[in-house]
Amino acid sequence: MPELRENLATKRWVIIATERAKRPEEFIKKAEAITHPAYDPKCPFCEGNEAANTGEVLAYRQPGSKVDEKGWHLRVVPNKYPALIEPTGPPAEVKRSKSGIYLRMEGVGKHEVVVESPIHNKTIATMSIDEVERVITAYRDRYLSLDWDPHYKLIIIFRNQGGLAGASQVHPHSQIVAAAIIPYHVRAAIYEAQRYYDELGKCVFCDMIKNEIREQERIVLQNEKFIAFVPYAAMVPYETWIFPLQHETTFADLQPSEIRPLAQILRDVLAKFYHSLGNPAYNYCIRSVPHYSAGEPYYHWYIQILPRITTIAGFEIGSGININVALPEESAKFLREFKVK
């Protein structure tokens, strides 16, 4: 029989299609050959092509190197094709208006690219822990800076890996968007967390973490600061969430002592995907809350990783209910037991 499962935090239902369920090895695709060179003269993110992306917002550089020139380990630059445009006036001028019965506002915000490495053919899964630690540090530095800007209400950090996940460049990079609104699905998730806390006096995410540690079935990895597990109601095969073990409301709460453990578990989870599933496309996003919700006891930031192994079709679009053809417990076991050489 198929099984309907509810995500305790989001209240979203998924169908675990047990009658269609695939064994973990059936998701393994022929690995995408990594034939890209370490340097591509046409790539705007490669070292030596800094003129294609000037205006560094942040960079970690070799001593003596200059802004917007060679000698960097990581750089953050404005997106040349931003989804939102940086505001020019004070926050009070970002106003909503009506177009007939419809609501509109200027598309203000900030859109940045984190160029994670000068090496063209690297990815998080193949980087050293030091390199991934640098990426997490950049995320934190930019989050803290943008989170305090009164123009913005929500900071979104995400990574698209592979064409099926929407990546337009091979070169390793992430993106950061600061928005002046709180989208409905983010607000709805916050409301659900608030409702759980009002009813039970506890953080729903902390309860989920405790339950996963107790049951042990869906854990992929755990270290002294973080835990990675496949959610009970995973929307897609091998969906994985990474949480700080200690309750932290917002990504701004990430402490310097936690950066390396986070880099370790993120790299290792993605390395498992890379080597065990044939380098699948994926998206990850840091799920956090607006600055004005910082310190609240009901929310707990996390990283959501969504491999693009299956395709969303008509039923999912029409019902809003995902069909997952992989049993979360089997997905977690497969990833947990796969050893990266």
Burial 221-241 (b: 16+ CB within 10 A, else e): bbeebbbbbbbbbbbbbbbbb
**Residues 302 and 287: beta-carbon distance below 8 Å:** yes
At residue 92, the pLDDT reads 62
| Residue-level pLDDT at 1 | 79
pLDDT tens figures, 25-59: 777 765 444 578 899 999 999 999 999 999 999 99
> What pLDDT does 87 receive?
79
Contacts of 183 (CB under 8 A, 6+ apart): 154
Q: Is the pTM for the entire model greater than 0.85?
A: yes
Q: What's the mean pLDDT when you consider all of the chain?
A: 92
Largest CA distance in the chain: 65
Q: pLDDT by residue (tens digit) across 133-166?
A: 999 999 999 999 999 888 899 999 999 999 888 8
- Structure confidence at residue 33 (pLDDT): 47
Strand partners for 173 = 115
Would you say the C-alpha torsion 38, 42, 47, 53 has a positive or negative sign? Answer: negative
Give pLDDT, residue 31.
47
Kindly state the average pLDDT of the residues 206-229: 98
Region 191-207: mean pLDDT is 97
Write the pLDDT tens digit of every residue in 289-328.
Answer: 998 888 899 999 999 999 999 888 898 889 989 999 999 9
> Tell me: the pLDDT tens digits for 78-89?
999 999 988 777
What is the C-alpha to C-alpha distance for residues 203 and 154, in angstroms, rounded to an integer?
A: 21
Instruction: Residue 68: give its domain's CATH number.
Output: 3.30.428.10
pLDDT score recorded for residue 147: 93
Q: How many domains does the chain have?
A: 1
The pLDDT value recorded for residue 127 is 96
Residues contacting 276, CB < 8 A, separation 6+: 28, 334, 335, 338
CA dihedral 243, 247, 249, 250 (to 10 degrees): -50
Confidence at 90, pLDDT banded by 50, 70, 90: confident
User: Residue 197: which domain range?
Assistant: 3-337
pLDDT surpassing 80 at residue 282? yes
